[in-house]
Amino acid sequence: MLFTSGALLTDPPPLHVTHLDNGLRVLVQEVHTVPLVSVWCWYGVGSRDESTGLTGVSHWVEHMNFKGTSRIPREEMKGIVERFGGTWNGYTWIDQTTYLETAGREALDQMLFIEAERMNGSIFDPADCESERTVIISELQGGENDPEQLLDSEVTATAFRAHPYRHPTIGWLPDLQAITREDLYAHYRRYYIPANATLVIVGDVETDDVLRRAERHFGGIRPGPAPVRPQVTEPPQVGERRVSIERQGTTAYLKFAWHAPAAKEDDFFPMLVLDAVLTGAKGLNLWSSFRVAPPQRKSLLYTALVERGLASQVNGALMATADPFLYTLSFTATRGVPLDELEGAARAALDTAALEGIDEREVARAKRQLRARLVFEDDSVTNLAHQLGYFQTVVGPGFYPRLNQCIDMVTADRVRQVARHRLRSTALTVGAFHPLDAGR
C-alpha cells in the first residue's frame, strides 16, 4: 500500500455517484497522484440485522465469501490480487460488511470481477462451513481470553436491553454452535444483492471507463428485494448499571460506557470534540484511526489519571453509527492501584469537566487535532475509499464531505452542554475486570 505525504486530494475531480439499473450504487473518485486503485464493496448488513439465535451470522458469511465462488476456485480467491502485488481484506461490524482490494490500476478488472462473483456466486460448501465454524469459535474464545475484549463485550451487552447493538459482531457461542449451512446461505442471499450494496472505486482511473466496467461485471446480477432493517429504539436508561468480572490475569481494567448519539444527531460532533478533550483526538476511520495513538499529553483524563500514576493507559471511543451506540472510556489500572480508587479519581475528573466547564483553549486544541486526523485519514486511496463507502453506508450521501465543517461549528458551550447531559451517572454502565492470582 502506498501512502503519500500531505493531502492526497488537492482540487480533485468531483465524486461521481450513480446507480445501475439493478440498484447497485457506484461511487467513483479519481485520484491521479499514484498509479493505484482501491475497490471496496459495502453491504448494509451487520450484527444489528441479526436476530436472537443467529448472532454472528453476518461475520461468518463474510468468512465464507473468501472460500471460492462458481468461477473462482477456493485456492485462487486470495491469489488473484496478490499476483498484482496488491492487498485484500474485509470486515464485519454492527452496521455493515465490506470487502476490499487495492492494487495497481491494471488490476481494476480483476478486482471488479472478484466483487461481482462475491455478490452473486459464492458457493458455501458444507465442508467449508463446518471448518469455518471451528475457526470462528476459536476466534471467539481467543477474544474471551483477552480481558479488555471480554470486558467490552460484557459492558456493551449490559448497556443495551433491546437494541441488537448489544450482540457482539462475532456472535454468542451457543448460536455459533447451532447455525447451519442453510442459515448462512439464506443470510447471504437476502443481503448480498445490488440494492443493498455500494461499490466504491478510488484511484488512478477514468470515471467513464470505470462505469463501463462496473456495468459489465455487475449489471447482469438480478436486483432482488431490498431488505428492511429492524427499527429498534433502546429504552432510556434510568439508573447506573455495573458488570464485574473476576478471572485469572495480571492487570485490572475499568470501563465506562454511556449511550452516544447517532452520527446524524446534533450531539454527535460536540461529543466527538469532547472525547478529544478528554482522551485525545482519534478521528473517524474505523479502518485505521485506532491503529495510531492519539495525542494525549494535554488531554484531561491523561493528566488526571496517567500523570498521577493511577492508570497506565486511558482511551476513549466514539464511532459514527446509524443508530445511537456507545461512548466508552477505558482505563488500564497501574499495578497496585485498586479499581475503586481509579474509578473514584476518574469520576472526579469527569465531574470537574462537566461542572466547572471545559475552557475555550481545550476545545480549540481538540478541534485542531481532529482536523489533522481527518487529513491523515485520507492519506491513501485505500483510506479514502473506506471513508467514502463507510459514511455512504452508515449515514447516507453528503455526510462525509461535511466532517470538517461540522467540527468547525462546534463551540465550547456545546461541548460543556453535551458533557453535562450525556455523561450522567444515571446513564452510565461501569465494567470492572479484577485479575485473580493464578493460584486461586
pLDDT at 6: 37
pLDDT at 12: 62
Pick the more confident residue, 49 or 283. 49
Pick the more confident residue, 79 or 128. 128
Domain spanning 241-436, CATH architecture:
2-Layer Sandwich (3.30)
Query: Between 3.40.50.880, 3.30.830.10, 3.40.50.720, 3.40.50.300, what CATH number should domain 16-218 receive?
Result: 3.30.830.10
pLDDT at 7: 47
**Cα 299 → chain centroid:** 24
Distance of alpha carbon 10 from alpha carbon 196, whole angstroms: 32
Distance of alpha carbon 313 from alpha carbon 218, whole angstroms: 47
Please check the confidence at residue 17 and state whether its pLDDT lies above 90: yes
Cα dihedral 327, 333, 338, 342 in deg (nearest 10): -40
pLDDT in tens, 138-193: 999 999 899 999 999 999 999 999 999 999 999 999 999 999 999 999 999 999 99
Closest CA to 255 of 172, 352, 346: 346
pLDDT at 1: 28
- Average pLDDT (355-368) is 91
Please check the confidence at residue 74 and state whether its pLDDT lies above 90: no
Amino acid at 62: E
The rounded mean pLDDT for the chain is 93
pLDDT at 237: 96
- Which residues contact residue 8 at a Cβ distance below 8 angstroms, ignoring those fewer than 6 apart? 31, 33, 378, 379, 380, 381, 384
Please check the confidence at residue 55 and state whether its pLDDT lies above 70: yes
pLDDT at 440: 47
Distance of alpha carbon 408 from alpha carbon 412, whole angstroms: 11
pLDDT in tens, 269-327: 999 999 999 999 998 998 876 677 788 888 999 999 999 999 999 999 999 999 999 99
- Average pLDDT (232-260) is 96
Per domain, the residue ranges of the chain are: 16-218, 241-436
pLDDT at 437: 75
pTM: 0.94
Please check the confidence at residue 355 and state whether its pLDDT lies above 90: no
Please check the confidence at residue 4 and state whether its pLDDT lies above 50: no
pLDDT at 168: 96
pLDDT at 377: 87
Asked whether the domain spanning 241-436 has the same topology as the one spanning 16-218, the reply is yes
